[in-house]
Amino acid sequence: MPDRASTRAATIVDVARAAGVSRTTASDALRGHGRVSQETRTAVEAAASTLGYRPNSAARSLRAATTGTLGIHLPEAMTRIEYYLQTVYGALEQAAADEIDVTLITSRRLAGGQAPPAVDGVILLDPLADDPVAERLLALEQPLVTLEGAPASRSVGVVSADHEAAVRELLDHLADRGAVAPALLASPAVTDWGGRVQAAYRAWCAERGIEPAMVERPFGSESGAYAAAARELLVARPEVDAFLCGPDGSAIVVVDVLQDLGREVGDDVLVAALVDNPAYVYTDPPVTAIDLTPRAAGAACIRLLLDIVRGDAAADAEVPLPIAVRYRASTLGAAG
């Protein structure tokens, strides 16, 4: 009784029967494997289409020992940060293009000794130095890719940009525009990126014999905290004539603070951000920033991880990520 044919999803056997061929031939026809005549192939495809056949991914996974899913983890403290959202979306888009699914891995999911999700590989976005979830994921024997990862206990793929060069380019630019005492509102060195930015800033200052003017705030701080940090720095170091803003979005409040104090941003004082943000185009003045190309970064992570999973890349392959400074009025003056 094929009564419930409409109820149960069609299988490859249903397709084969409808096309008058065997399982194997139907499968071969649809996958383009084996030797199948053009005629048969067309018939099978027609049958599959009319039956609305959709291969059962569990069965396929079982046979292929593969899930068709990648996991992506970002520390929960980061979830409010625009940059990571963009990164996750870039990853999702690339994954969609490659017809694979993406599962988000929260801290909770791994915290309680629970089973890790069924994935072929994992992406860690800017793993915190001491993140327990990241450690557990590292301990898993799975292909793994980090975006700006710190050195790991085992071989992992890495997508990484030349932040040192970008920070230097920005600092050189500020100097060109007349700044002699650029300050840094920094993110903490708990991530690889945070550490490298601080180091690049210190190195640049050392080369020029400039005393670093740096203040630090944790990731995910409220914007009020950044405003307070900027004020604090300005009181302690009145000579500061340029601001490098590390935390995503912090340049907005820094500009506010400076304008409150009667400084002319882009002229009297320069402001630049280390993490570009859509809002920086609309601020007054628009803010010069390093475009970290988060969408491209997310996509690159997916591609690298897929290559590693498929054996097309070494488990410890590194992929460079191009980034670029976007020059805007906040460092170019009113005439922009």
Partner DNA sequence: CGGCAATGCCGGAACGATCCGGCATCCGGC
Partner DNA sequence: GCCGGATGCCGGATCGTTCCGGCATTGCCG
| Interface contacts to DNA, rule CB under 7 A | 8-9, 11-13, 20-25, 27-28, 30-31, 33-37, 39-40, 53-56, 59-60, 62-65
Quick one: 148 exposed, middle or buried, by C-beta within 10 A (0-12, 13-18, 19+)?
buried
Give residue 287's Cα distance to chain centre: 22
Q: Please classify residue 43 by burial: count the beta carbons closer than 10 Å to its beta carbon, then call 0-12 exposed, 13-18 middle and 19+ buried.
A: buried
Question: By CB under 8 A, is residue 115 in contact with its own copies?
Answer: yes
Task: Assess 320 for contact with its own copies (CB under 8 A).
Answer: no
Shortest distance in whole angstroms from residue 243 CB to its own copies: 21
Candidate list 11, 45, 51, 69; residue touching its own copies; CB under 8 A? 69
Q: How far is the CB of 47 from DNA (least distance, A)?
A: 12
CA distance 98 to 91: 11
Structure tokens at 7: 């109820």
Q: For its own copies, give the closer residue by CB, 166 or 309.
A: 309
- Is position 224 an interface residue for its own copies (rule: CB under 8 A)? yes
Which partner in DNA, its own copies, none is near 69 (CB below 5 to 8 A by kind)?
A: its own copies
- Binding string to its own copies for residues 129 to 168, with x set by CB under 8 A, is what? ----------------------------------------
Query: Which range in 16-24, 101-109, 196-204, 259-267 contacts its own copies by CB under 8 A?
Result: 101-109
Q: How far is the CB of 24 from DNA (least distance, A)?
A: 4
For the bound state, the minimum distance from the C-beta of residue 264 to its own copies, rounded and expressed in Å, comes to 18
β-bridge pairing 213-216 and 270-273: unpaired
DSSP character at residue 269: B
- Among residues 104, 94, 95, which one has the least CA distance to residue 73? 104
User: Smallest gap, in angstroms, from Cβ of residue 127 to its own copies?
Assistant: 18
State yes or no: residue 96 binds its own copies (CB under 8 A).
yes
Transcribe 271-326 into DSSP letters.
EEESS--GGGGTSSS--EEEE--HHHHHHHHHHHHHHHHTTSS-TT-EEEE--EEE
Query: What is the distance between the alpha carbons of residues 318 and 156, in angstroms, rounded to a whole number?
Result: 9
Cβ 44 to DNA shortest distance, Å: 9
**Cα separation values, 61 from 58, 116, 276, 310, Å:** 5, 17, 40, 14
Secondary structure (DSSP) of 13-43: HHHHHHHTS-HHHHHHHHHT-S---HHHHHH
* Lookup: tokens for 313: 């890349």
Counting contacts by CB under 8 A, is residue 17 touching its own copies? no
Does 236 help bind its own copies (rule: CB under 8 A)? no
**Residue ranges in 270-309 that form contacts with its own copies under rule CB under 8 A:** 278-279, 282
The CB-of-182 to its own copies minimum distance in angstroms stands at 28
User: Which positions touch its own copies (CB under 8 A)?
Assistant: 54, 56-59, 61-62, 65, 67-69, 76, 79-80, 82, 85, 88-89, 92-93, 95-97, 99, 101-104, 106, 108-109, 114-115, 117-118, 222-224, 278-279, 282
